Amino acid sequence: MDEINSLVKNETGLTEEKIYAYDKLSEEDKKQVELIMNDVKVGDSNGVIQYGVGAQSDIANFSDKMLEDVRAKDSGYVGDILTDLMVKVKDTDVNGLIKEDPLENIPIIGKLVDKTKKFLSKYQKVENQIDEITEKLDKERMILLKDVVMFDNLFEKNTECIHNLDLYIIAGNRKIEELKTKDLPELEAKANQSGDPLDAQKVADMHDFIDRFEKKVHDLKLTRTVAIQTAPQIRFIQSGNKALVDKIQSSILNTIPLWKSQITLALGIAKQKGALDLQKQVTETTNELLKKNSEMLKTNTIEIAKENEKGIVEIETLKKVNDDLITTIEETIKISEEGRAKRKEVENELVNIENDLKNKLTIAKK
C-alpha cells in the first residue's frame, strides 16, 4: 500500500506541469523523451495515430491479463471449503460424551450403549473428511500465494506502464509546445509573407496536426489515469488473497489442531468419568456389602450369645416333662387300679357263674 499512497500523493494537489515535469526526470529518461520527440514526424497522420500505442497496448493487455486471472480464481470456493470445515467441526458433538444417554439406564439395552465407541467412530469419519478438506485448503493456499507473487509482478508492470506513459506524455507536451512556439509561427510568417495558398495550407495542416496530436496526448493521459486507478485495485485484490491465505493457515495450523486436541481432552475426560462412575459403583457395592455383612454378623452374634447362655435343656422343658411324667404315672396308677378292680369284679362274677352252673347241674342229676 505504500506504493499506492506514493502514487496518490504525487497526483494530489499538483498541476499538470508538475506531474509531467521534464526537469524531474533522470538523465536516462530525458534521453528517452528526446528520442520519442525526434520520432514524431510533422504531417505524418499515421504517426500520430500510432503515438504511444505501445504503452497503451501494454495497459490494455495488462488489464485483460489481470481480469483473466481474477476470473480464474474463485475466492468463493475457498469460503465454501472453510464453511464446510466449520460444519464438520461443529458436527462432532463433544458434549455427547459427557451427557448421560437415557438408553444407558435401561436394563440390558444400556449395556449395549457405548458412547465412547460411537463417538470415536463418528470422530474417525469426520476426521477423514476434515483431512480431505485440509488438503484442498492447502492446495488453495499455495495457489493464492502464487497469486500474491503474480499481483506483485502485475503491480510492477503497471508502474512500468505508467512510467512509459509519462515519458510519451512529457515528450508529446514538449513536442506540441515546440510546434506551437517554433514551427507554427515560422509557417504563419512564411504564409503571410508569400501569400501562397500552399503555404497557407501548410499552416492549416499544422493546426490540424497539433490539434490531433493534443487529442492523442490527452488519450494517453486518460490511459494513465486508468493505470493509476488500477494500482490500488491490484493491491486490494492482493490484500484479499493475503487475508485468505492467513485465514487458511490459521485454520490448518490453529483451528484443526485445536479441534483435535479438544477432542482428545474430551475423550480423556469421558474415560475419567467412566472410571469415576465405575469407582463409585465399586465403592457403593463395597459399602452395601459391608453393611449387610455387619448386620448378619450382629444378628448371628446375638443369636449365638443367647444360645450360649441357655442350658442344654431349659427349666421350662424339664418342668413340663416332669409334670407330664407325674401325670403319666398318676394316670398309669389310676388305670392299673381300675383294671385291678375290674378284674376283681370279673373274678367274682366268674365264681358266681361257676356256682350257678354247678347248682343247675346238681338239680338236673336228681
Same domain, 280 and 336: no
| Contact (CB, 8 A) for 251 and 179 | no
Report the SS3 class of residue 152: helix
Same domain, 143 and 279: yes
Question: Which residue type is seen at 56?
Answer: Q
Q: Rounded to the nearest 10 degrees, what angle do helices 197-250 and 115-178 cross at?
A: 160
> Which pLDDT belongs to residue 23?
82
For residue 107, pLDDT over 60 is answered with no
Same domain, 217 and 328: no
Same domain, 239 and 325: no
| Contact (CB, 8 A) for 169 and 224 | yes
In-domain check, residue 260: yes
| Contact (CB, 8 A) for 255 and 34 | no
| Contact (CB, 8 A) for 162 and 234 | no
In-domain check, residue 312: no
Same domain, 28 and 164: yes
For residue 103, pLDDT over 50 is answered with no
- Here the cell at position 43 is 504531417
State the first-to-last Cα distance of the chain, in angstroms, to the nearest integer.
182
Same domain, 255 and 360: no
Beta-carbon neighbour count of residue 43 at 10 Å? 11
Burial of 232 per CB tally in 10 Å (0-12, 13-18, 19+): middle
In-domain check, residue 89: yes
Same domain, 245 and 328: no
- Here the cell at position 14 is 499538483
For the stretch 55-93, pLDDT in tens is 777 776 766 666 666 655 555 555 666 666 666 666 655
Domain range for 357: 317-366
Same domain, 108 and 157: yes
Same domain, 79 and 172: yes
Q: What is the mean pLDDT of residues 344-350?
A: 81
For the stretch 263-276, pLDDT in tens is 667 666 666 665 66
In-domain check, residue 92: yes
> Which pLDDT belongs to residue 335?
83
Measured CA distances, 5 to 14, 158, 238, 294 (Å): 15, 15, 16, 90
> Number of folded domains in the chain?
2
| Contact (CB, 8 A) for 55 and 164 | yes
For the stretch 232-286, pLDDT in tens is 888 888 888 788 788 777 777 777 777 677 666 766 666 666 566 667 776 777 7
In-domain check, residue 304: no
- Here the cell at position 46 is 499515421
Contacts of 165 (CB under 8 A, 6+ apart): 52, 55, 56, 59, 220, 223, 224, 227
In-domain check, residue 308: no
Beta-carbon neighbour count of residue 318 at 10 Å? 11
Same domain, 207 and 331: no
